Structure 1
Amino acid sequence: MNAVTRSTVSAMTLALYTQAATATPFDSETLRLRGIDPGLATYLSQTARFTEGVHAVRLWVNGQPKGIVQARFDVVGALCIDRAVHDAGELIDTGSSCGDFIEQFPQTLVELMPQAGEVRLLVPTPALRTASADLTAFTQGGVAGLLNYDVQGLYNQFNGQRSRFLSANTEAGVNAGDWILRSRQLYSSAQGKASLQHMEAYAQRTFSDQQAMLQLGQINLSNPVLAGARVTGAQWMSETALSASGSGARVQGIAATQARVDVRQSGVLIYSTVVPAGPFKLNDIPQVDRRRDLEVTVIEADGERRIFTVLAATLGLDLPARGFALGIGQLRDSGRSAQEPWVLSAGGSYPLAPASSVSSGAFLAQGYNAGGAGLNLQPWSGSQVQGLVQAAHASESDERGLQGSISLNQQLGARWSALISAGRQTIGYRELIDSAWNQATDQRGRLRDQYALGLGWSHPWTGSLSGTWSTTTDFDGQRSSRAQVNWGRRLGPASLTATGQWQLAGDGGLGNALYLSASLPLSNGLNWRSTARHDAAGIRLGSGVQGPWDERTQYRVAAERASRTGEVSYNGGVSRLTRASQLDVGYASYGPGSHGYSGAARGAVVVHEDGITLSPYPLQDTFGLLTLENVADVQIDTPGGSVWTDRKGRAVLPQLAPFGRSNVQVATASLPRNVDVHQGAATLQAGRGAVPRITFGVEVTRRLLLQVQDEAGRRLDRDTGVTDDQGRLVTLVQEDGAVFVPNVHASPQLWSHTADKQPCRLQFELPANPDADAYYEQAVAQCRVQENES
């Protein structure tokens, strides 16, 4: 063991010394004969304890880990339950004094474990913080502006033809005084033809006393049983009702090449992106209305367009949350030849019993009235049933009709689950958007009924298997059916997956395709993947690798061969998560003269009183700002993903749970070697629309390994104590006069004893700027005897 290792171990052992459980007497002469400084007797005779000062410890409260906290200990090693311990342990605030908590809760047990660097608290239940039903108890206020962006670009050259596509989904807004202002727009450019589609612009605020929310502007009317409407107006609704509608739709399919995917609802383009060849899954797509089908268009590299419909029923049950919604506004974006009537919407959902609830709603508009009711039940274990009935009257055409649907989610034992949905409407039923069109409609070509079935199976031997089937029939008898199957199985380290889709009836759709893949992890995070795809163009076999270039960069390279023509295609790309954005670039070659490029950038820009901070993730309606006192490139783990501080030590907390708890923690391994954080973790409780600020204090340390001699050139004796100017023990002298100082800033004056036991002061010189990448610095020191000093 070299001197550096011995010195470090000795310093750590001394700081966490726990050898004695009770006071122990020491014989000074025995210590001296064994070469140990007798001045250590007082220190070593004490019970197990931390040394005085601040230590990074793991905190446990009532058996639950609470992360790492910078805990303070007094001169006798007792824990100070201060603000840092209160916040990390989620304890109620009892005051700033160290003894206030114990005084208020004397039954608290404190277990100090210096040898493990842990502190365990056992506290009574009243001492724990609980989520308050009073929403005013949460952090409120704050001002910041934001711009979320998701930019996708695609260029393809196929058989001499070129295509260019660019899309930018943006969301601009401001959070101020708990008001949330947002504006969403979608820019797209295809073949040089650009369009800018404004989606919505609104303001909203939660009023905690009423536990309700107000929305103003271009909004979507919320109704628990009727299809919503895009209006310009106002809406007053329960806070819980809006929080339940935050998740988006999920769309799955298979692309033959690097393709563009457009998603429309009610004729409105709501999402556009680029996907690689193979199965794709798009999550959290924002919907205009959660009860309308989605129309998905896949545009391949050669310009081929394939369109399929995702039934709203296959997206799963959308059970309304308890609460009410009342809104009024003028219909918007219903088509160039459509009317824009005023609409009044009202509805609510309330429990009948612990396992059932009832919903009702109504629309009143110029020339249109509708009403409906719904029943949600859990009739037996593992089941959920939803039934809806709606009636509508379009007065201008004097058409009346009914629509009904029923859906069942059922867990069939430990392995099986099923989804069954059925819906039907009469020929006279009209939605609000349908009644607004100033054009004759072909009633025979309208949808009459739709059915959907989903099954899921999971077993350790066979893996997980799921399938969906959906069919629709028009009043003229035209039918369209689609099916999809997904299977996955882990076999040792390897993963096997299969995806199949079939257009069983009707024209269009994605066609029939089967996709198989097998992946195997290799060394250093590298993953090998082999694929097989069968579709109308024949069979394609491919293979490739993907893995990490570094901790924030991923790369992928693959090749594919078409069995029918023998043509080989190649593709590759790089994805990089930076402090400011998520970046992705890709290239694909489909044969001689045919290739494509793609690029994407995603993230957010935040404007606040201290300047501009960038985020690699889009921001939600409730977000925060963190400061780490000018320490750059430190990783912060947040509920929305890991972020990194910029050169000013600032980072954005992109996603905080509104009226919930969000844990934020510094990844201490990413700190510079000479920096210690005072408090590495915090729990934020923020109201919706708030912009909480949090600052983690840091301390710049300077660790030294000194080679010490006295004025006669003699090395200090091993195990001699080294103290600060107050006589407090700092460390011990090691072999060959080595002295390891944990932080010279905390102990700028160091004292010891020469070989003939005279007090002496350690004198040394250090460069002005320490090396931030070095754990410790090395220097030579001389221990000089000081006159008239002790």
Structure 2
Amino acid sequence: MVLCYSEARVFQGVVRCLSVCAGFRSLVLAVAALVGGGACGSVWASPAGVDSVPGPASNAAIQFDLEVLRHRGIDPKVAEFFSRKPRFAQGVRRVTLLVNGASRGAVDASFDTEGRLCFTRGLLEQGNLKVPQEQGLSKAVGAGHCYDFVRAFPQTEVQLLPGRQEVALVVSAEALRPLSEDRGVFQRGGNAALLNYDLLGMQSQSTRMTRRYTSANTELGFNAGDWLVRSRQLLTEQNGVRNFQSLYTYAQKTFVGHKSMVQVGEINIGNSVFPGAAITGVQVMPDSALQGQSRGGATVEGIAQSQARVEIRQAGALIHTTLVPAGPFRLPNIQLLNANTDLDVKVIEASGEQRNFTVAAASLAQFSYSAPGYSLAAGKVRTFRARSMQSPAVLTGTGGWLFNAQNKVSAGLMLSQSQYRAGAFTLDSSVTPNTSVNLRGTLASAGEEGVKGAEASINLNTRLTERLSAGVNTTQRTEGFRDLLDTTQRQGGGGYISGLSREQYGASLSWSDPLLGAFGASYSTSTSFEGRGRQYLSGYWGKTFKYFSINANIERIMNSGGSSSSFRRFNASGNAAYLSVSVPLGNNRSMSTYASKRNGLTRFGSSFSDSSSDFASYQLAAESNSEDHQRDFSGSLNLLPRYARLNLGYSKYGTDYTSYRGQLSGGVVMHEDGVTLSPYPLRDTFAVAKVGDVSGVRLSTPSGPVWTDLWGRAVVSQLSAYQASRVEIATKTLPRNVDIQNGFKAVTAGRGSVNKVDFPVITTRRVLLRTRDVQGQILAKGAGVFNAEDQFVTSVVGGGKIFLTNDQLSERLTVRLGDGNHCLLNYRLPDKADPNVYFESADATCNLF
């Protein structure tokens, strides 16, 4: 039985493939172009090599029938190279890496003159393997440093499978690098300054008035020596009224040995059982990345009747603002100041109409906000509201303990200068694999007011069946309860804080069925001590069919107990419904038709969206309403011009109302090698990638696609701290005359570090020689080509063609002819290669010697 493998390398349709054949024990690259095209000829191995496949450690040579090789026109010396075991030819080969049976993706692997695998750092990183000590490395030709991995971990088995372009490794558990436990292998240090920006401008005008709104959300900072400094500011201007907020300015560093981080400056109390008040001070808390946990953000959902601006506030601070299109919206990963204060959400329609609703704090506790360990914070309270009375000093501490993998308890104390005293606890428990419970209780005493009270909350989420999930939550407060922020507010009549909720309830339900689709509903209600009530109900249904999908959303906001005109205006009740039918058109294009209804007004519309390009996406929409039958038009264009993100929009409502908007966002990094722009905001841990001096190369990063600038650099704006982050080159975007040793990097970075991700490139010259002998006859297929050291280089394929690259072009090359003679290749090439072609062609003459 004979195995065949065709290693194809396209030469623009000229050279189809290099055929290689082997017996069961593998003459894998031995027989080049036995028959030409992609066919394989038969090569007979000794009987011992037919029925068994010895392991890779075996070096027993295979005996080939040399007369058969000569008859086929193959130099027996070629077979000698492949007679011992499966092997790749010398150089760099793109192969699939398997570790203990699991695929680790494609990697450029290097092989020496004997076909042995070179364990480079890149290969070890992609395989999630430990790097041996430095004294174990040796130099390999063209491959950088090779680590003696097999000597460091003797149980390692290496299996080379050139017939499938695979390298399979079987290693012991000691050789693997578990990211969740081993934090010793990560990159540290680096210096850089940064600027993140998000600029928004809107203007709406009608025959009666003109409204303008602008905002500039900026973040300045730098990283140095694993310290990071950040300062975030928000400047807004609406109809000439300007407002400025400094949200924070702080310095931070993680001490890996203690698995803890230190923050100093304007910070928010974190990892605490108490609401995370904003303070100016210092805190020490566990680094969740080193605890194997992550902290996510909240999700806010609603329905917009038009292209609207959404503002989300917590504790009086504007923490998030964005634009949303008409219809249901979902804003995930909202970064909170704390987990225990309600979110106030304001939806501002294009017409100026405003709606408010509240996301209860209890519904935010879908995950734990405190990691095991101890936290301590001290400082002076920072307030954002104009009606704040004071900014007392505060001291708080929290401890968290894991009883087992399913139960964690946290408890803490808080003291403030305003005679505020409080104690609290939380319990996070996985009652069953499908049910989780979060309990929270707080006792507090506000000495200056002379009141005491308690607060308790519970959040239960469960998966009832494979398709049905449910959740309930509630928060109860007594009249005398205060949290720290409440003590800074003006007191209302009756001994309570104006607007403070007495009770909150929430419930959610979701169900999916292959036939009926997905259903979901959520309900929340809250009542203040003043008797004001607010209820919010939402539901959805969705179903995907073969050629289209249907989605329906409903929303009901109910407010009661308010008598003032301002309360009625900004807290208006209302019902809304939204139904849409979407038809995918292929290549990330789609068309949808929708109908919406709010407070008796019905709107109908259609839209078309196209996001088939990395550079640009756009949406067009037309709409009419049932009241005056006026037609509305809108359009938006999202651009990613490589180094920033730009969003442009235009809307026309009826005959006399028009609005425009523009939004520009991105980041700037100033590092030791220059200035590099990013289309995404820079996070606490990032990298600068370099692909030689080649511009316009696309890289896939955790944040999204980026492109190298004129100097070959691009910013990887976000890396996971102490975990591997993938950065990969889209090799199709490389110039044709550029090769890269490894287009994949797995970067494990320490928090606050500035990393360099270097992709060395090689300007490659590839030449296809059309060879003849001195009599003008085409050289025979299968003849071996050897260098001055008598090492096998390649073979002559059909039509006397020989393919050579790089250093091979400067070597003295000889061809072993079938009659036992040798000839020397002679050819001439231009001084410079053409960068726009994959390979050059030239004529060559082979002179006997």
After TM superposition, the score normalised by the length of structure 1 is 0.92
State how far apart, in whole Å, the 2-side matches of 1:3 and 1:692 are: 38
Hey, what does 1:765 align to over in structure 2? 829
**In the alignment, structure 1 residue 349 sits paired with structure 2 residue 400:** yes
**468, 471, 483: which one aligns with 1:419:** 471
Hey, what does 1:594 align to over in structure 2? 657
Hey, what does 2:128 align to over in structure 1? 90
**In the alignment, structure 1 residue 281 sits paired with structure 2 residue 330:** yes
3-state SS, counterpart of residue 378 of structure 1: strand
Q: After TM superposition, give the deviation of residue 188 of structure 1 in Å.
A: 1.6
* AA of the residue aligned to 2:188: Q
* AA of the residue aligned to 2:718: Q
Are the equivalent residues in 1 in contact too, given 2:827–2:842 (CA < 8 A)? Answer: no
Which is worse superposed, 647-656 or 174-183? Answer: 647-656
**775, 780, 790: which one aligns with 2:838:** 775
3-state SS, counterpart of residue 137 of structure 2: coil
**694, 707, 718: which one aligns with 1:655:** 718
Q: After TM superposition, give the deviation of residue 218 of structure 1 in Å.
A: 0.5
Which is worse superposed, 460-469 or 333-342? Answer: 333-342
* 1:13-32 pair list within 5 angstroms: 16-17=29-30, 23-27=62-66, 31=69
State how far apart, in whole Å, the 2-side matches of 1:402 and 1:476 are: 18
Hey, what does 1:328 align to over in structure 2? 378
Which is worse superposed, 189-198 or 609-618? Answer: 189-198
* AA of the residue aligned to 1:414: E
State how far apart, in whole Å, the 1-side matches of 2:66 and 2:442 are: 92
State how far apart, in whole Å, the 2-side matches of 1:672 and 1:33 are: 42
Which is worse superposed, 667-676 or 113-122? Answer: 667-676
**343, 363, 387: which one aligns with 1:314:** 363
Q: After TM superposition, give the deviation of residue 659 of structure 1 in Å.
A: 2.2
Are the equivalent residues in 1 in contact too, given 2:30–2:78 (CA < 8 A)? Answer: no
3-state SS, counterpart of residue 377 of structure 1: strand
State how far apart, in whole Å, the 1-side matches of 2:403 and 2:798 are: 78
Hey, what does 2:37 align to over in structure 1? none
Which is worse superposed, 740-749 or 580-589? Answer: 740-749
Which is worse superposed, 281-290 or 120-129? Answer: 281-290
* 1:167-566 pair list within 5 angstroms: 167-222=215-270, 224-240=272-288, 246-319=295-368, 320-336=370-386, 337-367=388-418, 368-437=420-489, 440-441=492-493, 443=495, 446=499, 447-506=501-560, 507=568, 508-509=571-572, 511-536=574-599, 538-566=601-629
Aligned in 2, Cα 1:387/1:34: closer, same or farther, shift over 3 Å?
Answer: closer
3-state SS, counterpart of residue 7 of structure 1: coil
Aligned in 2, Cα 1:241/1:375: closer, same or farther, shift over 3 Å?
Answer: farther
State how far apart, in whole Å, the 2-side matches of 1:147 and 1:701 are: 38
**In the alignment, structure 1 residue 624 sits paired with structure 2 residue 687:** yes
| Structure 2 unaligned blocks of 5 or more | 1-7, 22-26, 32-42, 50-60, 139-145, 561-567
Q: After TM superposition, give the deviation of residue 37 of structure 1 in Å.
A: 5.1
RMSD value over aligned CA atoms?
2.9
3-state SS, counterpart of residue 595 of structure 1: strand
Are the equivalent residues in 2 in contact too, given 1:725–1:750 (CA < 8 A)? Answer: yes
State how far apart, in whole Å, the 1-side matches of 2:79 and 2:654 are: 82
Aligned in 2, Cα 1:15/1:509: closer, same or farther, shift over 3 Å?
Answer: farther
Hey, what does 2:669 align to over in structure 1? 606
**In the alignment, structure 1 residue 680 sits paired with structure 2 residue 729:** no
Q: After TM superposition, give the deviation of residue 463 of structure 1 in Å.
A: 2.1
State how far apart, in whole Å, the 2-side matches of 1:764 and 1:195 are: 72
Hey, what does 1:55 align to over in structure 2? 93
3-state SS, counterpart of residue 557 of structure 1: strand
Are the equivalent residues in 2 in contact too, given 1:136–1:209 (CA < 8 A)? Answer: no
State how far apart, in whole Å, the 2-side matches of 1:341 and 1:181 are: 25
Which is worse superposed, 233-242 or 474-483? Answer: 233-242
Hey, what does 2:646 align to over in structure 1? 583
3-state SS, counterpart of residue 319 of structure 2: strand
Q: After TM superposition, give the deviation of residue 33 of structure 1 in Å.
A: 5.3
Aligned in 2, Cα 1:740/1:247: closer, same or farther, shift over 3 Å?
Answer: same
* AA of the residue aligned to 1:362: L
* AA of the residue aligned to 2:464: L
State how far apart, in whole Å, the 2-side matches of 1:69 and 1:450 are: 55
Are the equivalent residues in 1 in contact too, given 2:695–2:709 (CA < 8 A)? Answer: yes
Are the equivalent residues in 1 in contact too, given 2:605–2:624 (CA < 8 A)? Answer: yes
Aligned in 2, Cα 1:588/1:758: closer, same or farther, shift over 3 Å?
Answer: same
Are the equivalent residues in 1 in contact too, given 2:765–2:833 (CA < 8 A)? Answer: no
Aligned in 2, Cα 1:707/1:359: closer, same or farther, shift over 3 Å?
Answer: same
Hey, what does 2:764 align to over in structure 1? 701
Q: After TM superposition, give the deviation of residue 479 of structure 1 in Å.
A: 1.7
**In the alignment, structure 1 residue 73 sits paired with structure 2 residue 111:** yes
State how far apart, in whole Å, the 1-side matches of 2:724 and 2:756 are: 15
Q: After TM superposition, give the deviation of residue 448 of structure 1 in Å.
A: 1.5
* AA of the residue aligned to 2:402: P
3-state SS, counterpart of residue 188 of structure 1: strand
Q: After TM superposition, give the deviation of residue 758 of structure 1 in Å.
A: 5.5
Q: After TM superposition, give the deviation of residue 537 of structure 1 in Å.
A: 5.6
State how far apart, in whole Å, the 1-side matches of 2:546 and 2:504 are: 42
3-state SS, counterpart of residue 669 of structure 1: helix
Q: After TM superposition, give the deviation of residue 744 of structure 1 in Å.
A: 5.8
**187, 190, 198: which one aligns with 1:142:** 190
Q: Count matched residues.
A: 784
After TM superposition, the score normalised by the length of structure 2 is 0.86
* AA of the residue aligned to 1:371: G
Aligned in 2, Cα 1:343/1:664: closer, same or farther, shift over 3 Å?
Answer: same
Q: After TM superposition, give the deviation of residue 392 of structure 1 in Å.
A: 2.0
Q: After TM superposition, give the deviation of residue 203 of structure 1 in Å.
A: 0.6
* AA of the residue aligned to 2:329: F
* AA of the residue aligned to 1:56: R
Aligned in 2, Cα 1:510/1:745: closer, same or farther, shift over 3 Å?
Answer: farther
3-state SS, counterpart of residue 363 of structure 2: helix
3-state SS, counterpart of residue 174 of structure 2: helix
3-state SS, counterpart of residue 124 of structure 2: helix
Hey, what does 2:15 align to over in structure 1? 7
Are the equivalent residues in 2 in contact too, given 1:334–1:436 (CA < 8 A)? Answer: no
Which is worse superposed, 620-629 or 724-733? Answer: 724-733
State how far apart, in whole Å, the 2-side matches of 1:591 and 1:438 are: 45
Q: After TM superposition, give the deviation of residue 59 of structure 1 in Å.
A: 1.1
Q: After TM superposition, give the deviation of residue 341 of structure 1 in Å.
A: 1.1
State how far apart, in whole Å, the 1-side matches of 2:519 and 2:255 are: 45
TM-superposition CA deviations, 1:390-419 (whole Å, max 9, x none): 222222221222222222112212222211
Q: Percent identity?
A: 39
**144, 149, 156: which one aligns with 2:204:** 156
Q: After TM superposition, give the deviation of residue 700 of structure 1 in Å.
A: 2.0
3-state SS, counterpart of residue 645 of structure 2: strand
Aligned in 2, Cα 1:754/1:138: closer, same or farther, shift over 3 Å?
Answer: closer
TM-superposition CA deviations, 1:553-575 (whole Å, max 9, x none): 22222222223322222222222
State how far apart, in whole Å, the 1-side matches of 2:19 and 2:240 are: 69
Q: After TM superposition, give the deviation of residue 199 of structure 1 in Å.
A: 0.5
Q: After TM superposition, give the deviation of residue 716 of structure 1 in Å.
A: 3.2
